[in-house]
Chain A
Amino acid sequence: MAIVRDIMPAFELFQPATIQDALGLLDRYGRDAWVLAGGLDSFDWLKDRVKRTKVVVDLSQIKELTGIREAGGGLEIGAMTTLTEVVRHPVVKAKYSILSEGAESAASPQIRNQGTLGGNVSQDARCWYYRGGWKCYRAGGNICFADTPTAINREHAILGADRCVAVNPSDSAPALIALDAQMVIRNSKGERTVNAEDYFVGPEIDITRMTVLKPGDLLTAIRIPATWAGAQFYFEKIRDRPVWDFPLLNVASAMVVSGGNIERIRIVVNAAAARPLRLTAVENAVRGKPRNAATGELGGKIAIEGAEPLRYNGYKIPLMRNLVKRAISGVEETKWT
């Protein structure tokens, strides 16, 4: 018998107007509460009847969660700020263009009008075995259907796999990590900030979650310090359909170059593992070296150390090597070699 998938299943909908009210609801309903931001991840789960919830807490009415403010020399972006607003914001464009590029590369204009920055960094894995409702490791089972000899795993992980081989699909996450952003998380007990790098959880720590958010937690804002304002940035996303697709891989780097040498650098790739990977070994290796193709080559080689391809995603290894190379040496420099 066919399953009706075109209408929403029944749930109790709450639309709090303040963060405090939202936290009260999350506290009251705990694991039964589903936090709804832009809905672009949530509605798939719910309409496909793969995940169920009794209660949805829709954050769209909370004004405190929206907008971009200058704070502490940097920026504070409300978690419910849409990707379009992030893309168009003049300060983001002028000082943190890597974030603007990352956000703009996500999905389509219509989706960016609805999708939020908080939702983009907190979205679930896009592995179709998992999204298809199979009881895999990530869904609480005891197998990874994407890591079997006959699995279709072209989009899956080449690094950091631990039983589950799904990848993090966010385009804004690597940019935020490169910018050394901080995630502001609130729950009924108070507020804490987490480095963007530590916001994401790999399967080795918790195979069923993508972020540190637990029941009752709410990502309220993302703070971007002035540390990397105006630095040299690089963002590139590779996808099957340039008009609208999740990344096969993306890379983001922030760099300060002095006298032709790399003084400071942060470089991050995503869609290579279940969490965005900051490439600290690459950063350490290229720091102090001239920003040129040779240094990029070196960074690219280091980046792929330990990579383990699945049956259909071996192409990601040279792809990642080249993306890292370009993120260090720049596209122009690469053309010269």
Chain B
Amino acid sequence: MDLIEFATSPWGETVPIHISFVLMWVAAIGGLAFLIGHAIWVKMFAKPAEHPAPVSKELAATIPAKVPRHSLASRMFHWIMSVAMLALLVTAFVPKAGYEFAWVTYHWIAGLVLTVSIVYHIIHASFWLDFWAIWPDKIDIEDGKRRWMRATGKDAPAPRKFAKYPMENKLYHFVILLTGLSVTITGLFMMKRIRTPIFTRNPYMFGDMTWGLMYVLHGLAGVGLIGLIMAHIYFALRPEKFVITKAMIFGSVDREHYLEHHDPERWVLETTKKANEQRSGAAV
């Protein structure tokens, strides 16, 4: 079975043209196997969650009952992106699975919505949010090693609480960033191959090999997103993660969740900052 399909160009070159759509099923089945495997592991083998030492009462007093996690703008981006992403997956793969409909126009419109939302997110995250909060830091890497060692039965110090985003959240964001940028950038160029009211069609913009590689990258990122989105929805619906899903709807997590899972020194709230400022002011 060929994972990538090749063709002979008019110049006699062998060029890739797209991925084999069997990979769509590989991604879907692989994603499903991961979900089942994870669910079994959590149910049968996972150790109870470790709760590092509680924070001081003084610090806890500075934490509001509802801890803001996602601004309205962030939540809107997330849900618009979700709808666009699901529309892209449906329009790309459902016809291949046998339910045929006129998908191309819906696909590129959804692609443009995704592109605009990503551009918005990059600007918003760069200038209005803590840009580095979603990137793994040194502590995340150290704690990741500790968790792995402890999960595999080796001695290691207990991992610390998370910053604003857990390590797996950060890794997922990184992978989505790679795949999302891959599909949107290649998708924008691919719009030059079809008739749209936005771009003038120009199939000669790149050579056959470049176009072929672009289609392959678009396809690989696309099938990758099948598994990634499946995993994302699965974790969003898991009972222990549902509080984070609710935060993506309502914007906040409650104080107990914050104190149990997050390190107030790594995810410093505005209320804590103000309390610290007042304290230091009083001390002076």
Contacts and interface: CB of A to CB of B under 8 A. Distances in A.
Contact of A142 (B10, B18, B204): B18
A93 to B, nearest CB: 38
Interface string A190-230: 00000000000110111000000000000000000000000
A143 B215 CA distance: 11
A163 B194 contact: yes
Nearest to A143: B203
B45 interface: no
B10 A134 contact: yes
B10 A145 contact: yes
Contacts, number: 44
Given A148-B204, A149-B204, A163-B194, A142 B104 contact: no
B104 A204 contact: yes
Contacts of B104: 162-163, 204
Interface string B7-26: 11010000001100000000
Nearest to B100: A205
Contacts of A202: 102
B132 interface: no
A259 interface: no
Interface in A124-176: 134-135, 140-145, 147-149, 161-163
Interface in B187-231: 193-195, 201, 203-204, 211-212, 215
Which one of A143, A145, A204 has the greatest number of beta carbons of chain B within 10 Å? A143
Contacts of B194: 162-163
Interface string B80-111: 00000000000000010000111110000000
A142 B215 contact: yes
Contacts of A134: 10
Contact of B195 (A135, A141, A149, A161): A161
Given A134-B10, A161-B195, A142 B100 contact: no
B146 to A, nearest CB: 47
B103 to A, nearest CB: 8
A141 B10 contact: no
A148 B203 contact: yes
B34 to A, nearest CB: 30
B17 A135 contact: yes
Contacts of B212: 142
A325 B173 CA distance: 60
A141 B102 contact: no
Contacts of B256: none
Interface of B: 5, 7-8, 10, 17-18, 95, 100-104, 193-195, 201, 203-204, 211-212, 215
Given A148-B204, A149-B204, A162-B195, 6 more contacts: A135-B7, A142-B193, A142-B211, A147-B201, A202-B102, A308-B195
25 contacts: A135-B17, A140-B5, A140-B17, A141-B7, A142-B18, A142-B193, A142-B211, A142-B212, A142-B215, A143-B203, A143-B211, A145-B10, A147-B203, A148-B203, A149-B204, A161-B195, A201-B100, A202-B102, A204-B102, A204-B103, A204-B104, A205-B101, A205-B102, A206-B95, A206-B100
